[in-house]
Structure formats: structure tokens, C-alpha cells
Chains A and B, each alone.
Chain A
Amino acid sequence: MWIERKVLAQEIPAAAALDTRQLCEVLAALGFPVDGVASLEGTESLDVDITANRGDAMSHRGIARELAAKLQQPLAPIATGVVPEGEALVQVRLEAEACPIYATAVLELGEGITPEAVQSFLRALEASPKRLSAVDASNELLLRYGHPTHAFDADAIRGAVSVRWAKAGETLATLDGVTRTLTERDLVIADEAGPIALAGVMGGDGTKVTEATRRVLLESAWFEPKVVRATARRHSLHTDASHRFGRGADPAMVRVARDLLVARLQAWCQAKLIGAWTAGAVPAPSAPVELGLALLARVAGEAVPLAAAQEALSRLGCVVTVAGDRLRVTPPSWRHDLSIAEDLAEEVLRLRGYEHIPSVLPPMEGPPEHLAPGYLQRQRVARRLAHLGFHQTVTYGFVSPEADALFASPDNPAAGRTLANPLGYEYSVLRASLLPSLKATAEQNLRQGSRQVQLFELAPTYRSTPSGPREQVTLATVWGGLLGGEDYLSPARAVLEADLAGLARDLALPGLPAIHRLSDGLFGFEIELDALPRLQDRIIPVFRPFSRFPTVERDLSLLVDLGQSYAALNQAMAAALPTDSLLELRCVDVFRHKSLPEGQQAWLLRMRFQADRTLVGDEVDGWVAAALAAAESLGAKLRA
């Protein structure tokens, strides 16, 4: 809220002595940081941030009250002559508990306009003056004292006025020109023909004050905050009045604000008071709150004398009595946020200044807990991938239905994962897979000129279930573009599926995951993190003896059909070899060339043997011959 410095100083003269920086610091220390300073209409205004619990501070008077308590300086008295009350000129019936008090007055307007100083004040606070005294005075009072008031054209009101719940289907054209259909939960001001205002939110168009208005009926009331908030939200109608009432106005201000409004109209446009009266009464204050010495000391971090606490709370307007080691505190009528002992402790600390809170490390009361295996797993995988050259991405958890459909399995319908109120169609489905997001990110990187793109993401994916989307932490990687070719020793080549298979093996995946070709030269795979082997509990595994005898290595170059299954060949050859001596059997080269017989390729198979003795050449020769025979049974031939 904008606070104009000159008007603030009228409420608390001591504030005039502070420079802007000092003032901002005091306000921040009180919990009202200043977001900006503006110079408008030749005066300085502060943009004060007021938290939602402090409706009472949403005015110049409210901020002045806080400063007065902190600086221990007096507030200026509110200058109002008491308006004599008499018989009700118009009957006002309070038919709902949500409005316990309603003060009003009827005045006959004379000649005159809003004083220039007030117009300037309104402009400085970005509230444009209407040059209608009744409207401008109401706005000025709101900004200055925080209590919303309203002026009706008295001649437009038909019969008695009541504050009541609307009847379902009743309509009201509000001041903003919108005709609103009301519900039974909307509190309205009504005359005998129907609603004339949404209580605490906005007046009706049919009874508004215009230049033609001769007589006004003023309203200064108190409405239940919950009711005002609900109505404002229901009608998407958030006004200055609904903000104040919605956060809790000061019921003790009801008559005062009416009197101030009357005095302004009398002064500004020679208005003549016809009559003033009040329906209902200020509600009784809520029960006192107790604050114990022990709780205060615990919250503050050190003992605070009861007398000091009593003094601080009194400065804030509380009525405080001492009962043993406790304070019994009745908050002032404008504070609706002080309902438990902790609230009061905060007030004591706030006035002392949070800078006086000591700094202490909390003692350990029990042993610390370990990091969860799942968390450590993710850290380990992320670091491994980063060291292998992959970049971790963070993409939105929601995607378009089309992108989602690319990789969602048929038994995972998007309907169970769709948002009711997405930011837009393209962000409407909680993703079943990370691959659509990574594909788009990778393609964008390639378009930006990346030679090679290596990305991974660790994030939840969602599966529709009857009880809602089930989350599963998922790892996805994509890899594409060109490898090598950036130095004189590494030849360039395109990234292939085989590279992702190698990556899957590096991560110790239990099997080969489905490797998706996402676009030309871009591949990816995705696994649920639970599929990865967990970290071993043992720091160092159990020792397993290994042979100290030398290994023997033999190569076989085989001609095989282009369609030959490597797995079948490998299996057949391995079956022919002694399991206790075979260390490894793997294809270490694939050769395809037109010099080879049509439809054939050459595979170089390497066998490594080891035993608990020195292997003899004849023995190994025999094994190799057996492996060759097994390969030949599948159609392979020894390459000459």
C-alpha cells in the first residue's frame, strides 16, 4: 500500500524527523518492508508491503500506530467533533449476525468541491479524485484511517434499509456496471425493492452518488471478514473495501468514520446534517489471551521480564493485567490476529527488534538420520552421467496431450493425469514419459548449433490409477549428433544406438532398455530408477580369489551371413568352451566390405582363457577348435 509521508506525519508528528532511509528501516524492522519510493504530486510516497494478517495496518493511521508503538512517540488525536445521534430517519434492520453494527447519517449536500489538498493526496496514492465530495471523502477516509464507508443517493432508496442475506437469484447492478446474480451466501444492503449494495464489497449502480444527488445516506458498518472474502471471490470483485473488511476492520471505528465523513461533507460542501443514528452495537471484545513467562522466554531465546512484555503489549493498544507468571491480554479492537500466546510473544519480540534475538545452535537430542538409499542413488547416477559428458536438464512436469501420447503406454490413459486448470493446452497433461521433453530440448540444442547433444533428466513420471497419478522417479537420457572429430586422434562419427547400449551397460542396467530413435541421429532410453541396482551396503565387497596364472588370448575371424544373430553365435560358441576357464568371449570387430563374399560379413571373436594352472597350448587349441566347430554348425566359416 502507498503511504504518503506528509499525511503520515499528520498522524504521527515524530515521523517527520526521520529521513526516508531511516523510516524504511524502522518499517522493515516492524514487519512492513518498503518495496519502493515514489515522488508524485510533489510529495514522497512509500510502497509499504503489508502482510495479509495485518488488515489493521492498511492505512496511514495504521502504519502510524505501529511507528508510535516502536518509537514510543504519541499519535495525533483523530480530529472529530461528535455527531449527535437521534431517531432513525430510515429504518435500518440488521438481519444477519455478519453485520453487528451499522452507523449512518443523512445529509443534504450544498455547494463546493473536494479541497485541492485532498485531491492531490488521492492522486499521489493513485486513487483518482471524482470531484464528488461524498465519494472523494469516503476514499480519503479509507486510505487515511482504513475504514471503508459508502454514500448512497438517499432519494434513490425506497423504504427501510436492511442488511440481510441475498435471496438466491436476486440480481444487483454494481457500480462497475456489471449485473450480478446473487446467492444466499452473499450479504447485501437492501431497500424494500431489493439489494442496493454488496455488503463490504461494492455499492449498487442504482443508488450511487452523482452530480445530481441532493441528499446522501452514509454507511459505516462492520462486516464479518469471512463473508466479505467469500463474496469478493465469488464475484471476482476485489475492491479496496473488500480488502479491508476481508482482513478485519476495526468495529470501534464504525461511528468514528461516520462522524469523520459527516464533518468532511459539512466542511467541503456546506452539507447540512439531517440526522444520524446507529443500528446494532460494537461487538464485545473476544476473551483475553494468556501469555506465560516460560513460553515467552522459550520463543525469545532468553528471559524477558513480565513488566517489559506488559509494557510492549500496552504500547500496541492491548489491555494487559498480570496474574502470577502470566499476562492476561485483551487485544485492541483493530487487532484480529492476536489469538494465541505465540502471537503475543511475537509482538513483544517485534517491538524489541528481532536483532536482539540471540544466536544459538540447537542441541542434538538424538542421532542424525542417514540419507535415504533412493536419494543417494539419484545423486550417484547424476554424477556418473555428468562425468560421462551428459548435461542434466530440468523441464516442466506437464506437456501437451500430443507430446504425452508419443511415449505413454496404452494402459496409462492421459485422462487420469490431466489438469483441470492448466496454464494452456500445451501444459495440460502430467507426463507419462520424460522423453518428449528431452527430445524437444535436444532438437532445440542441435538447431542452436550443438555438434553433439547429451542430456539426461531425473524426474517423476506419472501413471494413472483409480486413486490418482502414481509418481515414479525416472531417468531418461538422449544422445545424438557427432562424436569425435574435434582432435587429431579421434575420428568423427555419428552417435549410434550402440552408444546408448554401452551407456546402459555402464549404468549397470539389468538388461538392455528399449532404445528409441527420437529423430534422425538422436536416440534415447528411459528407465524407472527402481530398476537400477541399489548401492551395496558393504563399503568394500567380499574378497573373491582370482587366478595368478597368465591369461591366454585367441582370436577367430569368422565369415557369417549378414543376418546372423550375434547372441545365438555367442551362445553356441560359449557352450562349446569350458566354463571354468573361459574368461570372456566377445566380438571385438565387425568388418563389412565389398571384398567379402556377397551377403557376408566378418566378425572378429576374441576368447580369453585362464585357469588355476598354466594353460598348455594344445589344450587351448582344442577349445578353439571346438568353438569354431560350434560356429560352423551355425553356418559360419573361418575367414582365410
Chain B
Amino acid sequence: MDQLLPPEIVEAGRTFPAALAACSDLDALLRLKGAFVGREASHATRLMELLKTAPKEQKRELGAAINGLKQQWEEGLKARQAELEAAKRKLGALAATWDPALPPPQPPCGALHPLNRLMDRLVDVFRPLGFHVEEGPEVETEAHNFDGLNIPEDHPAKASSDTFYLAAHPELLLRTHTSPVQVRTLLRVTPELTARGGIRFLAPGRVYRKDEIDPTHSPMFHQVEGMLVGHGIGMQHLKGTLEYALRALFGPDTEIRLRPSYFPFVEPGCEVDVSCPLCGAQGCRVCKGSGWVEILGAGLIHPNVLTYAGIDPNEWSGWAFGMGVERMAMMLSQTPDLRLFFENDQRFLKAMGGLD
């Protein structure tokens, strides 16, 4: 009798029990029902069309076969529907007895290091102003770390009591600040400075100084360097940028204060205070009652630094700043001991780090 039916319907009929069993919910069952006995374009409607056009002598036998198949499908669908409905009721009952106070499985939760988070945050803050990130090696040359930054030949920072040197390469050292990234970047972009319209970037990274490990000192720490070179850049642009950035970081009511200071690679130089973000400048332990905390050093790029990189200081000028990441992290978090940032206790990292 199967020879009277189209082969694809025979195959569909053969796989029907498996397809029925595979329906894991009522939606899937409805789809299967549509395909087999639905009112349009189903196996059943096709069979009925077949019956209409069949030769008279075959109609009786074919009709019986078709009815058998349809009955088989409908019964199967009905039985499976009853099963699935019962299962659904049972699941509902189970859900009603679930105790939500039982501790559920916890998705995993790690953390970025707080120092990295703070550096990432600074990058986010400066991105809208058109700053990108420049990086440089931690093993540097004396030329990049000192000479290119207008640091005199006999500066005490060069002494082996302050700076780590490589035994096999006396001209190499571990950079003592992120400022050599300034030198490298300026040297690289000098030929295209006019075409690109100056440059502005941040340079976050690790730096090394020969300090014994104690609650406020570490031989390795992090800095974020910022630099901008353009036409007619003055102290007002430094102030404007830092005001924008520090308000983005600490809140819109934040005030900043510039004080004269000295760093060999800038002129004029300044230190920048921010109104104490912990007490709202009311005076607290962190700001020693003054309402201000020192946050970074900055200034206009010394003409010698531009000249070293081959940039004409009569045409171009710019500003630079350098910020201690640990210092800011300790101030904001009131972490009492710098060493905690390098011990990497998971409890500390989880509490101080977070995911973004």
C-alpha cells in the first residue's frame, strides 16, 4: 500500500514517532502538529489532494490508508500533548516549592587590578579630548630616560643609588618615570607633526626607582603621563584640560589649584592640587585639614625637550603632566599600606578591583 503514497510522506511517517518524542515542549509539539495535520500545506492536506485526483479504483484503498495514517498521527499528537501538559504542571508545582533563599549557583566573578582600573579610567576620561595611548619599554636608555628630558648630566636621579641599571648593559636602565615615552613619541612623530596637527596622548605604565619596600615606598610603581603639542599652547590649556579631566574623575564640583614648582623637563612647572574628593574640601585627615590634595606635577614642555626631538620651539609648544597612580589609589581608597597593591590577595583584589 505504501507504493500508493509519495516517498517523502512515507519517510515522514516513519520518523514521526521519533519527532514526537523529540518535542520537549508544547510549542515544538504545535509546530509538529501543523506540519502533519495542519489545515494548510501539511502532510494531511497533501494526502487529501492526492485522494481527490486518484483513479476511482484506488480511491477506496487509498482512503483507508490515509485515514489510518491521519488517525495514527492525531492519536500520537494527542497523547504527547497530554504528557507535556502533565510535565508542565509538575514543573509548575516544583517551582512553587522552590526556596529562593537557598543560595543559588554563583556565576564566576574575578576582578581587574585596582591600579589598572584607575589607569583605564584615566584613559577613558581623556579619550573625548582626542588623547590616545602611547607605550614604551620598561628597559630604557639613559638618553631617553634623562638626556632627552633636559635632565642635567650630573643629576642625582642618575646615581645608582636611585636608578636600577643593567649589569651587562651599563647604558640601559629601568625607566624611572613614564616621561621617556614623551621622548620616543616626539621623536617618532616629528616628521609628520604639521600634517597631523600636533599630538596629544597619555602614557600609562610601570616605572622603577631604587626605594626600599615599606608602607609608602615601592621599587616598582605606576605613572600616567600626559602630553599635548600644538600651536600657541600655554598654561591656560594645561589648566583647562586638567580641570575637565579631574572633574570627570572626581565630580563636577571639583576645583583645581596650580602652584609653581620645578621639574627639569617643563618650564613653567607646577604642582596641581584638587579640592579634597573625600571631604568635599571641608578638611579631613586625608587633606590634613587643608581641603586640598596634591594630585600631579605638570608644566609647559621645556624648549630643550622639543629641540631634542627635532621640534622647533618657536613654532610648537605644549604641556605635559605626570601622575602617580598608587598615590592616587591610596588617597581615594585610604589604603593604609602600599604593599597591599603588590601582594595580590584575592580578597583585596575582589574588594578594590571590580570588572570594568
Contact A379 B260 (CB under 8 A): no
**What 0/1 pattern do residues 97 to 123 of B give for CB contact below 8 A with A?**
000001111101111110110001000
Determine the chain A residues whose CB is within 8 A of the CB of B138 once the complex forms. Answer: 397, 460, 471
Determine the chain B residues whose CB is within 8 A of the CB of A372 once the complex forms. Answer: 132-133, 135
Once bound together, how far apart are the Cα atoms of A471 and B153, in whole Å?
27
Once bound together, how far apart are the Cα atoms of A386 and B130, in whole Å?
28
Contact A394 B110 (CB under 8 A): no
Q: Which residue of A lies closest to B256 (CB)?
A: A359
Q: What's the nearest-Cβ distance from chain A to residue B207, in Å?
A: 10
Once bound together, how far apart are the Cα atoms of A31 and B262, in whole Å?
8
- Interface residue? A588 (CB, 8 A): no
Q: Which of B147-167 contact A (CB under 8 A)?
A: 154, 156, 159-161, 164-167
Interface size on A, residues (CB 8 A): 95
Contact A388 B108 (CB under 8 A): yes
- Interface residue? B90 (CB, 8 A): no
Determine the chain A residues whose CB is within 8 A of the CB of B317 once the complex forms. Answer: 298
Contact B11 A300 (CB under 8 A): no
Contact A386 B355 (CB under 8 A): yes
Residue B132 contacts which of A53, A371, A389, A421 (CB distance < 8 angstroms)? A371
Residue B234 contacts which of A233, A301, A350, A453 (CB distance < 8 angstroms)? A301
- Interface residue? B55 (CB, 8 A): no
Contact A416 B168 (CB under 8 A): yes
Contact A301 B110 (CB under 8 A): no
Determine the chain B residues whose CB is within 8 A of the CB of A462 once the complex forms. Answer: 139
Residue B356 contacts which of A30, A52, A383 (CB distance < 8 angstroms)? A383
Once bound together, how far apart are the Cα atoms of A350 and B271, in whole Å?
12
- Interface residue? A441 (CB, 8 A): yes
Contact A419 B166 (CB under 8 A): yes
Once bound together, how far apart are the Cα atoms of A418 and B11, in whole Å?
75
- Interface residue? B72 (CB, 8 A): no
Q: Which residue of A lies closest to B233 (CB)?
A: A362
Contact A455 B344 (CB under 8 A): yes
Contact B237 A361 (CB under 8 A): yes
Q: Which of A299-350 contact B (CB under 8 A)?
A: 299-302, 340, 342-343, 345-346, 349-350
Q: What's the nearest-Cβ distance from chain B to residue A196, in Å?
A: 26
Determine the chain A residues whose CB is within 8 A of the CB of B169 once the complex forms. Answer: 416, 467-468
Contact A393 B113 (CB under 8 A): yes
Given contacts A364-B197, A370-B132, A450-B346, contact A415 B167 (CB under 8 A): yes
Contact B11 A616 (CB under 8 A): yes
Contact A392 B139 (CB under 8 A): no
**What 0/1 pattern do residues 250 to 284 of B give for CB contact below 8 A with A?**
00000001111110000111110000000000000
- Interface residue? B243 (CB, 8 A): yes
Residue B165 contacts which of A419, A616, A617 (CB distance < 8 angstroms)? A419
Contact B259 A28 (CB under 8 A): yes
B interface, over-half SS: mixed
Given contacts A364-B130, A469-B139, contact A393 B344 (CB under 8 A): yes
- Interface residue? A211 (CB, 8 A): no
Q: Which residue of A lies closest to B152 (CB)?
A: A226
Given contacts A385-B110, A386-B112, A441-B344, contact A368 B132 (CB under 8 A): yes
Q: Which of A28-62 contact B (CB under 8 A)?
A: 28-31, 33, 51-54
- Interface residue? A390 (CB, 8 A): yes
Q: What's the nearest-Cβ distance from chain A to residue B35, in Å?
A: 11
Contact A390 B110 (CB under 8 A): yes
Contact A487 B103 (CB under 8 A): yes
Contact B344 A301 (CB under 8 A): no
Once bound together, how far apart are the Cα atoms of A360 and B238, in whole Å?
8
Q: What's the nearest-Cβ distance from chain A to residue B281, in Å?
A: 14
Once bound together, how far apart are the Cα atoms of A421 and B259, in whole Å?
36
Once bound together, how far apart are the Cα atoms of A368 and B198, in whole Å?
10
Q: Which residue of A lies closest to B273 (CB)?
A: A28
**What 0/1 pattern do residues 287 to 303 of B give for CB contact below 8 A with A?**
00000000000001011
Given contacts A420-B167, A486-B106, contact A394 B236 (CB under 8 A): no
- Interface residue? A445 (CB, 8 A): yes
Q: What's the nearest-Cβ distance from chain B to residue A289, in Å?
A: 12
**What 0/1 pattern do residues 217 to 254 of B give for CB contact below 8 A with A?**
00110000000101111111101110110000000000
Contact A349 B167 (CB under 8 A): no
Determine the chain A residues whose CB is within 8 A of the CB of B262 once the complex forms. Answer: 31, 51-54
- Interface residue? B6 (CB, 8 A): no
Q: Which of A47-102 contact B (CB under 8 A)?
A: 51-54
- Interface residue? B15 (CB, 8 A): yes
- Interface residue? A407 (CB, 8 A): no
Contact B110 A454 (CB under 8 A): yes
Interface locus among A157-165, A270-278, A422-430, A513-521? A422-430
Q: What's the nearest-Cβ distance from chain A to residue B139, in Å?
A: 5
Once bound together, how far apart are the Cα atoms of A202 and B270, in whole Å?
34
Residue B344 contacts which of A51, A52, A395 (CB distance < 8 angstroms)? A395
- Interface residue? B212 (CB, 8 A): yes
- Interface residue? B170 (CB, 8 A): yes
- Interface residue? B125 (CB, 8 A): no
- Interface residue? A489 (CB, 8 A): yes
- Interface residue? A488 (CB, 8 A): yes
Residue A469 contacts which of B110, B166, B230 (CB distance < 8 angstroms)? B166
Contact A33 B259 (CB under 8 A): yes
Given contacts A298-B234, A366-B197, contact A51 B210 (CB under 8 A): no
Determine the chain A residues whose CB is within 8 A of the CB of B257 once the complex forms. Answer: 354-355
- Interface residue? A19 (CB, 8 A): no
Determine the chain B residues whose CB is within 8 A of the CB of A445 once the complex forms. Answer: 344-346
Determine the chain B residues whose CB is within 8 A of the CB of A30 once the complex forms. Answer: 260
Determine the chain B residues whose CB is within 8 A of the CB of A391 once the complex forms. Answer: 110-111, 113, 344, 346, 349-350, 353
- Interface residue? A536 (CB, 8 A): no
Contact B105 A487 (CB under 8 A): yes
Q: What's the nearest-Cβ distance from chain B to residue A77, in Å?
A: 28
- Interface residue? B172 (CB, 8 A): yes
Determine the chain B residues whose CB is within 8 A of the CB of A364 once the complex forms. Answer: 130, 197
Determine the chain B residues whose CB is within 8 A of the CB of A464 once the complex forms. Answer: 168
- Interface residue? B52 (CB, 8 A): no
Contact B206 A397 (CB under 8 A): yes
- Interface residue? A365 (CB, 8 A): yes
Once bound together, how far apart are the Cα atoms of A363 and B210, in whole Å?
40
Determine the chain B residues whose CB is within 8 A of the CB of A467 once the complex forms. Answer: 169
Once bound together, how far apart are the Cα atoms of A486 and B104, in whole Å?
9
- Interface residue? A546 (CB, 8 A): no
Q: What's the nearest-Cβ distance from chain B to residue A581, in Å?
A: 17
Residue B267 contacts which of A29, A346, A365, A419 (CB distance < 8 angstroms)? A346
Q: Which residue of B lies closest to A31 (CB)?
A: B260
Given contacts A33-B259, A361-B244, A391-B344, contact A418 B237 (CB under 8 A): no
Determine the chain A residues whose CB is within 8 A of the CB of B235 once the complex forms. Answer: 299-301, 349, 354, 357
Determine the chain A residues whose CB is within 8 A of the CB of B164 once the complex forms. Answer: 419-422
- Interface residue? A538 (CB, 8 A): no
Q: Which of A393-448 contact B (CB under 8 A)?
A: 393-397, 415-423, 427, 430, 441, 444-445, 448
Contact A453 B268 (CB under 8 A): no
Having A51-B262, A444-B343, one finds 11 other A-B pairs with CB under 8 Å, namely: A31-B260, A300-B236, A343-B267, A349-B260, A354-B258, A354-B270, A363-B230, A365-B198, A386-B353, A393-B344, A397-B208
Which A residues have a C-beta under 8 Å from some C-beta of B? Answer: 28-31, 33, 51-54, 226, 229-230, 233, 297-302, 340, 342-343, 345-346, 349-350, 354-355, 357-372, 375, 379, 382-383, 385-397, 415-423, 427, 430, 441, 444-445, 448, 450, 453-455, 459-460, 462, 464, 467-469, 471, 486-490, 616-617
Can you offer 7 A-B residue contacts whose CB atoms are under 8 A?
A31-B259, A342-B268, A366-B198, A369-B130, A391-B111, A445-B346, A488-B102
Complex A-B, nearest 8 residue pairs according to Cβ-Cβ distance, in ascending order? A366-B197, A301-B236, A389-B108, A31-B260, A365-B197, A346-B268, A368-B130, A51-B262
